[in-house]
Amino acid sequence: MGKEVNVKLIKQEIDEIYEIIEKLNIKSETMDALRQKFDKVEETYDDFMDNYLDFIEISDHLYDGIYISDGTGRTIFVNDAYSRFTGITKDEVIGRNVLDISREGKLYKGAVTMEVIKRKEMVNSLGKSLVNGKDLLVTGSPIFDEHGEVKLVVINNRDISDLKELELKNAELQNDKQRANQEIEFLRKQQTSKIKIVHEGESMKAVMDMVNMIAPTDVTVLITGESGTGKEVIVDEIYSRSLRKNKPLIKVNCAAIPGELLESELFGYEGGAFTGARKTGKMGMFELANEGTILLDEIGEMSMKLQSKLLRVLQGREIVRIGGNSPIKLDIRVIASTNRDLHEEIKAGKFREDLFYRLNVVPIKLKPLRERKEEIQSLSNEFLSKYNKKYNKSTELEEDAMKLLEMYKWPGNIRELENLIERLVVINKDGLIRSDSLASLLDIEKNDVKQYITKNKDGKTNLKEAVRSLEREIIEDVIKECGSVNKAAAFLGLSQPALWKKCKVLNINVN
- Among the ranges 47-56, 188-197, 273-282, 296-305, which has the highest mean pLDDT value? 296-305
Asked if residue 445 is part of any domain, the answer here is yes
pLDDT given for residue 334 in this prediction: 96
Nearest to 187 by CA among 266, 283, 255, 251: 251
pLDDT given for residue 56 in this prediction: 79
pLDDT at 28 over 70: no
Tell me, yes or no, whether 379 and 342 share the same domain.
no
CATH number (domain holding residue 118):
3.30.450.20
Asked if residue 305 is part of any domain, the answer here is yes
Tell me, yes or no, whether 251 and 385 share the same domain.
no
Averaged pLDDT of the chain: 83
Tell me, yes or no, whether 363 and 378 share the same domain.
no
pLDDT given for residue 187 in this prediction: 61
CATH number (domain holding residue 255):
3.40.50.300
Position 146: which residue type?
E
pLDDT category, 489, cuts 50, 70, 90? confident
pLDDT given for residue 69 in this prediction: 94
Asked if residue 177 is part of any domain, the answer here is no
Tens of pLDDT, residues 139-163: 999 999 989 999 999 999 988 876 7
Asked if residue 133 is part of any domain, the answer here is yes
pLDDT category, 403, cuts 50, 70, 90? confident
Asked if residue 58 is part of any domain, the answer here is no
Tens of pLDDT, residues 92-124: 999 999 999 999 999 999 999 999 999 999 999
Tell me, yes or no, whether 324 and 202 share the same domain.
yes
Tell me, yes or no, whether 88 and 29 share the same domain.
no
Number of domains in the chain: 4
pLDDT category, 445, cuts 50, 70, 90? very low
CATH number (domain holding residue 409):
1.10.8.60
Of the three residues 31, 52, 73, the one that is the final residue of a domain is 52
CA separation for the pair 212, 390 (Å, rounded): 30
CA separation for the pair 43, 46 (Å, rounded): 5
pTM above the 0.85 mark? no
Asked if residue 352 is part of any domain, the answer here is yes
pLDDT at 133 over 70: yes
Tell me, yes or no, whether 471 and 405 share the same domain.
yes
Asked if residue 394 is part of any domain, the answer here is yes
Tell me, yes or no, whether 378 and 447 share the same domain.
yes
Tell me, yes or no, whether 353 and 501 share the same domain.
no
Quick check: 385 and 422 in contact, CB under 8 A? Answer: no
Tell me, yes or no, whether 350 and 379 share the same domain.
no
Secondary structure element (H or E) that encloses residue 96, with its range? none
Tell me, yes or no, whether 115 and 12 share the same domain.
no
Tens of pLDDT, residues 331-385: 999 999 999 999 999 999 999 999 999 999 999 999 999 888 888 998 999 999 9
Tell me, yes or no, whether 326 and 417 share the same domain.
no
Domain of residue 313 covers: 192-367
Tell me, yes or no, whether 390 and 497 share the same domain.
yes
Quick check: 284 and 322 in contact, CB under 8 A? Answer: no
> For the chain, how many residues are written?
511
Asked if residue 511 is part of any domain, the answer here is no
pLDDT at 9 over 80: no
